[in-house]
Amino acid sequence: MDAFITLILEFAIPTLIVSAIFVAILFYVLPREVRTIFKRELKSYFTSPIAYVLFVVFLGISGTLSFFFTGVLEGGEADLFLPYFQYLPWYLVLIAPAVGMRLWSEEQRLGTLELMLTMPLAPWHAILGKFLAAGVVLFAMLVLSFPIVWTMNFLGDPDNGVIMAGFVATFFVALCFLAVTSVISAITRSQLVALLVSVALCLMLWLGGLPHLSELIMNLKGGWLVFWPILKLVNGLGVMPHFTELAKGVLGLRDIVFFLSFITFCLFATSVAIRLKRA
């Protein structure tokens, strides 16, 4: 029973508060156009099988693999951070592009882009509305993985603050991947191309932050130095260090600013991609 109350206090209520804030922003801060696009997009995720399939895949993979391959159950300390959250971004490299691939390529394939862009709305309304809808799908995915948290709380007495931080960090990474996918899907009308290219980029974005890469860059010599700028850029954009910091429970302003500016930049790039498509 105690575990149950803890769960409600430490997870359900914060989740509800965050959701409520989001809904309030959606209804009272953002323009009606954003809301309309958001509603349509979210509905279309759930009228097609996509969302359900991705939920099952994500929950299946993340749940089972985390438990069986990382030995949470065997370890006496049910510290969720290491086994579970370390692997989540790897799945998201695949899942986030799968959620986001249709955002703009579907619009181009159906020809509805022409309809949307001749309606009285600014492109950022549509870009933001769509991004938020896909973000909510990813959010719902993370929320639905609560049985894992539940299990942990029944098995032991984990630091729920750290778990929460892990989820927050994971969500930010997911949004980054989604933002990258948004740009790519604006470039191509093929969802498959959007998926493959986005997965590759997200993987690069994730691995770019590997500590080994930073070491490698430090030790570049001779002719290899020509690669220095590009490696430095990839390394600088790498989300891994920011993720690790956040997930440790260190709510560093620096990391949050990194995530938010990265997402903003990608959404801006999406608008540029759409503009170029039209010209």
**Residues at the interface with another protein (CB under 8 A):** 32-33, 36-37, 40, 44, 47-48, 110-112, 114-122, 278-279
126 vs 246, which CB is nearer to another protein? 126
Q: C-beta of 102: minimal distance to another protein in Å?
A: 10
Nearest approach, Cβ of 142 to another protein (angstroms)? Answer: 24
For another protein, the closer CB: 47 or 219: 47
CB 35 within 8 A of CB 130: no
Least CB distance to another protein at residue 123 (A): 10
Cβ 192 to another protein, closest distance in Å?
18
- Comparing CB distances to another protein, the nearer of 44 and 86 is 44
By beta-carbon proximity to another protein, the closer residue of 12 and 119 is 119
Of the two residues 54 and 174, which places its CB atom closer to another protein in the complex? 54
Residue of 18, 126, 87, 102 whose CA lies nearest to 54: 102
Amino acid 219 reads: N
Q: How far is the CB of 116 from another protein (least distance, A)?
A: 8
Q: Which is nearer to another protein, 117 or 213 (CB)?
A: 117
